[in-house]
Amino acid sequence: MNNKFKNVLFLCILMLLAEFELVHSQVYSQMKVGPRVYYRFFKYPLKEDFTKTGLRIFIQAPYNDLLFVKEEDFFTSNYEIEIVIRDKKKSVVLDKSFEESFSVVEFDETNSDSSLILWEHSFKIKPNDYEIEMIFTDKNSKKTSKGKTPITIQKFDETKINISDILFLDRIEFLPDGEVKLIPSPKNNSKIDDKKYFAYFEMYSPYKEKEVKIRYALFDEFYGSDKAIKKGTMIITKKDKYDYFYTNLTDLNLEMGRYVLTYEINQGEERARSTSAFSVGWEG
């Protein structure tokens, strides 16, 4: 094996390792150094304040990547999350830390790879380009995972119809106070035999009690956006300026593959659109 071939092979291995370490701009994994940590950003219009944009951050980590300690009749994980947001000049505009704990009853639960802790927090951010750094520390094992990603916070318009990001969910729970609890898909993947896998978004319109037309189109990412493989239209009547919408994607009976989903909302002559990608495979 000559030196030139060795160098090319080494560069290929480095590229593969880099791809493994930072799988996606919103999915961060740091195996053997710290816990696997998955994160999602969800940007949405804030109620009554359009000078800023809502940014909800979801962070998930598998139980078996965390160290649980025995405390009386429970096994407890203690962790800290630090969120640092910097502007284009690298100036820190936000730096917040959150200390959390989570307990399970059975020791076997601590070895689960499919059960994940879920942390979420909402911030109010001025529209601009930023870099977000997330630092997750398992306080019991003292191991840390870090991830950075650029993000553009868009501005929503109070005088027009607006749509949030699309969020892919493994589960959605309806709470007694009328709120909903969102459980994101860690990797934007749906298993081929899943019974439920949701796409969720929020919308704002300056007009109450007026019909909104929701169009969706689904494209195969491999073949591009020339022709939708599935599409449809729904009409709903909003009772408030702010509302949310979700649909179960498994009802579309999709085959394994990588898809791009687009929602467009229309009210009169106004329209807004949001697009995101997800996969269907053997594993979630």
54-100, pLDDT tens digit by residue? Answer: 999 999 999 999 999 998 889 999 999 999 999 999 999 999 999 99
Triad 96, 102, 106: Cα angle to 5°: 165
Inter-residue contact 195 to 250 (CB < 8 Å): yes
To 5 degrees, how large is the angle CA 205–CA 207–CA 212?
65
The confidence score (pLDDT) of residue 30 equals: 37
Q: What is the distance between the alpha carbons of residues 222 and 206, in angstroms, rounded to a whole number?
A: 38
N-term to C-term CA, the chain: 40
Burial of 82 (0-12, 13-18, 19+ CB in 10 A): middle
Pairing of strands 270-281, 189-191: parallel
CB 37 within 8 A of CB 25: no
Q: Which pTM value belongs to this model?
A: 0.84
d(CA 281, CA 75): 33
Containing 13, the helix (H) or strand (E) segment is helix 3-21
Question: What residue type is 173 in one-letter code?
Answer: E
Cβ count within 10 A of residue 201? 22
Tens-place pLDDT, residues 109-155: 999 999 999 999 999 999 999 999 999 999 999 999 999 999 999 99
CA-to-CA separations, 206 to 156, 157, 216, 266, in angstroms, rounded = 12, 9, 22, 13
Question: Percent of the chain having pLDDT more than 70?
Answer: 87
How far apart are alpha carbons 281 and 115 in whole angstroms? 19
Q: Which helix (H) or strand (E) segment is 26 a member of?
A: none
DSSP 48-71: T--SSEEEEEEEEEEGGGS--EEE
Selection from 133, 65, 69 nearest residue 101 by Cα: 69
Residue 45 to residue 54: CA distance in whole angstroms: 6
Partnered with residue 199 across adjacent β-strands are 168, 247
Q: Is there a contact between 59 and 96 (Cβ–Cβ < 8 Å)? A: no
Q: What is the pLDDT of residues 262-271, one digit of tens each?
A: 999 998 888 9
Query: What does the pLDDT look like over 191-246, one tens digit per residue?
Result: 777 778 999 999 999 887 678 999 999 998 877 667 888 999 999 887 788 899 99
